[in-house]
Structure 1
Amino acid sequence: MIPYKTIITLDRKSCTPVYIQLCNQVIQLIKCGILPPSTKLPGSRWMADTLQVHRKTVVAAYDELMAQDWIEVRPAKGTFVNSSLPIVEQQPIPGTEAAEKAKMRKQSPGFAFIRREHLNARDTEFPKEGILGLDDGVPDTRIAPIEEIARVYRNIVKKSYNRKHLSYGSIYGNMELREALADYLNDTRGLSTEPENILITRGSQMGIYLSARLLLEQGENIVVGETNYRSANKAFTEAGGTLNRVRVDANGIRTDDVETLCRKRKIRAVYVTSHHHHPTTVTLSAHRRMHLLELSQKYGFAIIEDDYDYDFHYCNAPILPLASSDSGGNVIYIGALCKIVAPGIRVGYLVAPKAFTDEAALMRRVIDRQGDQLLELTLARMIREGEIQRHSKKALKIYHARRDLFCSLLKERLGEYFEFRKPEGGMAVWVKLREGYDWDEVKAEARKNKLKLGGYCGDEDDTIDNPYPGLRMGFASLTLDEIKEAMDRLETTMTSLEQKVKSYA
């Protein structure tokens, strides 16, 4: 006898009608073999009394089951599970211990699939409440221009003629945003671009991925820094590329190393974060910028320029990107509004010669089709109205103050443990650990003090000696008071570790 009373649970507060709940649960019992084909179902009156529902509810559920061919009525005999259904292996009754174990086993698929070990991520857990995090360098969402976004978005959706943006649109992205971005980038970055050179993406990572897929085939060479943005490395590896690492110093990647590589093998692309190298935050010097452009034209490789935080430069006017001096059509310029507004606003852009953006748009179509047209239109209007520019200036002032406080406290209170250079821009500090300490130990001890050190700490394949000497500590997402508290916790962490080191000695 099937224990219907215990295995069928009906929620009268649910938005799903009770008869549909009953119908769905009977279907599940059939699917898992508890009710095999030709099993007789209880009469509607008995089922109603057992489940304490109205008889009409059970009748309606049976009618729906019959309409879907799950059950059949045999005259003068009763209601039965459809005899033509396939026989399946019986699964444990829901709610039992055996059922819970079977549920856990389902976490492992019953089919083969390709595992990509190179995509494994580390330190992906977000800080929980009460825990301060020194992240990789992300904006503070608390200062995001939410009111301005809501106002512009509301004005757009109120207009009936904007309903066309709820349908499919251009695979290149909203045209108004592409036009606004062309003007904005030409004005702020010294570019000379047109809307047809711009593809709207979901953040800069999509731009990197599309570029990798179009530039690299299995085994082809791409140049990156010996320290480099981890997610970019993963995208290039996923595309089949072979990473050729070159040294990075105080002036950015060593372009003489790039030239040496070009003489030895065919290089398809060079990836560079020219404004503030990720992770070290150094700026690519003017000399090396010109040298890299010359090399790209001489050897015919693409430059993927990831300009993720151009707007946050504190010491002087930011150096214009490589794309502003590109006369040979060799630079693919990638950026995003996520860093200016908020990470959750997934709108980025890829700027390149039209033939490349055309192909990138076709590639993007098969993985995402298009972005959020209404959001893209909202950002276009905010650029036209100057809201993005005003917010950028506001954020720059706030992050400048946070950088100064962070660096001063780090030097004054923790200088005996850490080495760093005050970054000219960006949202993080590249911190090196002094000899005698290990980053894994520092992270573990920091967790005890409710401090999460989650910034970049190197890849297993980095060409410099391990354990990795540097870690990015983000300051932009913390208020001034939170920075002070984070330094208190970090000082407590290092003091505890120092005592352990001395006790071992």
Structure 2
Amino acid sequence: MQVAEQIINLIQRGYLVKGAILPGTRRLSTFLSIHRNTAVAIYDELASQGWVEILPNKGTFVLVPEQKTVKLTAQAQPLDAAYTYSKTTGFAFQASLHLASTAQITNATYTINDGNPDLRLHPMHQFSRWYSAAMKRKSLITKWNRTGEGIPSIFEQQLTNYLNATRGFRIKPSSIINTRSTEMSLYIVSQLLIKPKDVVLVGQLSNYESNMIFQQVGATIKTVPIDKDGLDVDYIKTHFAKGMVRCVYICSQRDYPTTITLSAERRLELLQLAKTYGFAIIEDDYDYDFQYEGSAMLPMASSDANGMVIYLGKLGQSLFPSFQTGFVVAPENLIHEAKNYLQLLDKQGDLIQEQMLAELIYEGEIHRLIKKNIVNYKSRRDTLCKYLKDYFGSVIQFEIPSGGLAIWVQFEPKISLVTLTREAEKQDLFIPKTILYQDKNTCAIRFGFGSLNEEEIKAVVEKLYMAYHWIITSKLA
């Protein structure tokens, strides 16, 4: 097989041209120091794939037998080029400027992110048992071979029940679709909702990932100011007329990145304005599971009687990432189209994951995991706030959020955050560029604490302060 693949490679790259006669099996076996039967097998394999034609008493020819001379080199390439793979295409294609990677490489021991859960809190052994049990279900094969489109699965029914119980919905499975992630949900919704040059309104600083998705579908993004009550709805009324706005993207519990909660009054105003102006509201409830004080605010979609809100959420943030799933709640006609689109992107789905999640919802295990992890995350939030006050005092300002896995930390007086990240890396602390927010009015970091335990939080704050102290002393010097 190795020799056959190499000969195919030579043919494809032009080192062996059509009609070239190949060495006989005796000569080939001697040349390669292999048994003659192996040489025969090589040519048989090539013939079975259609690369050569074997003519009795004449020889083995490449594709067509007219030409009788062997050419072993291509005209314009060195011989070793036959064993390399091209790094660039030989044709033009359109690269996307909007989807440039934000990933950065670091060797630092400590990292601050924008608020990811801690994988160490997930009961791995328990998950293994749940997953194994789901795979052994006799009904799994039947589900895999099901052809009854339009019939809600057990998972869709359980997810519907769960959302009705926790988020105040009164929906049926026909109003919901589950996806691989919130990002996939938003991508599908954007494809259905937004046409090139449609105006999408987002918060003043906003989520860079959602902005990338909107820009990729050709939307024109406009920003709306954020104040202590969240998105400024009056700004929309005074700066945009009916028909000018296609949709408004908001975060249901806490604005990203500032963690400010949209007030109840603003929610009512936005719902009414959406009905009057005819724009859609995309409500991203990315951190519903992490509420420490009081109860999480019910989604606007739960009180939407006019079909103006598309609700995006995530199930299983207290689980290992492989077991998390995104979902969309919207009027049935949009969900129907979204399911058609999902068939193109992810027809297979993950039935084992769905089986396991359905059982975890039914048995109440999801609820127990959330409650257990909230205790840990609340302690980490309080620990971070304490160390920030102890080390930085009045040079930073932050509000203690009622939930979520990040704190909005603002520096006053302002400093160069780029310099801060450079000096922090010298202290073995990596601060990614995606959590930095700096312009003439803003100098802040979205400080995620969820993935750090109490000891790590202390070490991170110490290193951050050392980097900050270096900047201040350098200015004074």
TM-score by length of 1: 0.85
Paired with 1:276 and 1:370, the residues of 2 have a C-alpha distance of 34
Equivalent position SS for 1:117: coil
Paired with 1:242 and 1:60, the residues of 2 have a C-alpha distance of 61
Identify unmatched segments of 5+ residues in structure 2: none
Which amino acid in the other structure matches residue 415 of structure 2? Y
Structure 2 residue 191 is the aligned partner of structure 1 residue 213: yes
Structure 2 residue 463 is the aligned partner of structure 1 residue 489: yes
State the match for 2:6 in structure 1: 25
Equivalent position SS for 2:246: strand
Which amino acid in the other structure matches residue 92 of structure 2? A
Which amino acid in the other structure matches residue 308 of structure 2? N
Equivalent position SS for 1:263: coil
- C-alpha deviation, 1:466, in angstroms: 5.0
Query: Does the CA-based 8 Å contact 1:169-1:370 persist in structure 2?
Result: no
Query: Does the CA-based 8 Å contact 1:174-1:377 persist in structure 2?
Result: no
367, 388, 391: which one pairs with 1:410? 388
Instruction: Name whichever of 494-503 and 401-410 sits farther off.
Output: 494-503
Paired with 2:453 and 2:99, the residues of 1 have a C-alpha distance of 33
Query: Does the CA-based 8 Å contact 1:208-1:235 persist in structure 2?
Result: yes
406, 422, 429: which one pairs with 2:400? 422
- C-alpha deviation, 1:112, in angstroms: 1.8
Cα deviation, 1:115-162, whole Å, max 9, x if unaligned, reads: 22122232x23655x522101111112222433333233223223332
Matches within 5 A, 1:368-407: 368-407=346-385
Q: Please report the RMSD computed on the Cα atoms of aligned residues, expressed in angstroms.
A: 2.8
Instruction: Name whichever of 159-168 and 198-207 sits farther off.
Output: 159-168
Query: Does the CA-based 8 Å contact 1:173-1:199 persist in structure 2?
Result: no
Paired with 1:374 and 1:172, the residues of 2 have a C-alpha distance of 20
Query: Does the CA-based 8 Å contact 2:283-2:311 persist in structure 1?
Result: yes
Which amino acid in the other structure matches residue 132 of structure 1? Y
- C-alpha deviation, 1:271, in angstroms: 0.9
% same residue:
36
Cα deviation, 1:145-201, whole Å, max 9, x if unaligned, reads: 433333233223223332123346677896212111111111111111111111111
State the match for 1:475 in structure 2: 449
State the match for 1:82 in structure 2: 63
Cα deviation, 1:315-364, whole Å, max 9, x if unaligned, reads: 22112121222222221111012533233335111001111111211222
State the match for 2:126 in structure 1: 148
Which amino acid in the other structure matches residue 104 of structure 2? E
Which amino acid in the other structure matches residue 109 of structure 1? T
Instruction: Name whichever of 190-199 and 42-51 sits farther off.
Output: 42-51
- C-alpha deviation, 1:287, in angstroms: 1.1
Structure 2 residue 101 is the aligned partner of structure 1 residue 121: yes
State the match for 1:224 in structure 2: 202
- C-alpha deviation, 1:245, in angstroms: 1.3
Equivalent position SS for 1:119: coil
Cα deviation, 1:242-288, whole Å, max 9, x if unaligned, reads: 22211012221111112224436532211110201111111111111
Between the two proteins, the alignment pairs up a number of residues equal to: 473
State the match for 2:343 in structure 1: 365
Structure 2 residue 45 is the aligned partner of structure 1 residue 67: no
Equivalent position SS for 1:473: strand
Identify unmatched segments of 5+ residues in structure 1: 1-19
Paired with 1:465 and 1:126, the residues of 2 have a C-alpha distance of 25
Query: Does the CA-based 8 Å contact 1:166-1:374 persist in structure 2?
Result: no
Paired with 1:230 and 1:483, the residues of 2 have a C-alpha distance of 25
Paired with 1:264 and 1:332, the residues of 2 have a C-alpha distance of 20
Equivalent position SS for 1:266: coil
3, 19, 29: which one pairs with 1:48? 29
State the match for 2:476 in structure 1: 502
- C-alpha deviation, 1:478, in angstroms: 1.4
Matches within 5 A, 1:181-200: 181-200=159-178
Cα deviation, 1:385-421, whole Å, max 9, x if unaligned, reads: 1111111111111111111111211221134653322
Query: Does the CA-based 8 Å contact 1:457-1:471 persist in structure 2?
Result: yes
State the match for 1:333 in structure 2: 311
Shift of the 89–338 alpha-carbon distance from structure 1 to 2, 3 Å rule, reads farther
- C-alpha deviation, 1:72, in angstroms: 3.3
Equivalent position SS for 2:101: coil
Paired with 1:183 and 1:410, the residues of 2 have a C-alpha distance of 41
State the match for 1:4 in structure 2: none
Query: Does the CA-based 8 Å contact 1:137-1:455 persist in structure 2?
Result: no
Shift of the 331–180 alpha-carbon distance from structure 1 to 2, 3 Å rule, reads same
112, 117, 133: which one pairs with 1:139? 117
Instruction: Name whichever of 164-173 and 353-362 sits farther off.
Output: 164-173
Query: Does the CA-based 8 Å contact 1:277-1:283 persist in structure 2?
Result: yes
Shift of the 435–265 alpha-carbon distance from structure 1 to 2, 3 Å rule, reads farther
Query: Does the CA-based 8 Å contact 2:197-2:220 persist in structure 1?
Result: yes
Shift of the 99–447 alpha-carbon distance from structure 1 to 2, 3 Å rule, reads farther
Equivalent position SS for 1:110: coil
Query: Does the CA-based 8 Å contact 2:233-2:270 persist in structure 1?
Result: yes
Equivalent position SS for 1:336: strand
- C-alpha deviation, 1:46, in angstroms: 4.3
State the match for 1:272 in structure 2: 250
Paired with 1:99 and 1:502, the residues of 2 have a C-alpha distance of 62
Instruction: Name whichever of 299-308 and 70-79 sits farther off.
Output: 70-79
Paired with 2:82 and 2:457, the residues of 1 have a C-alpha distance of 49
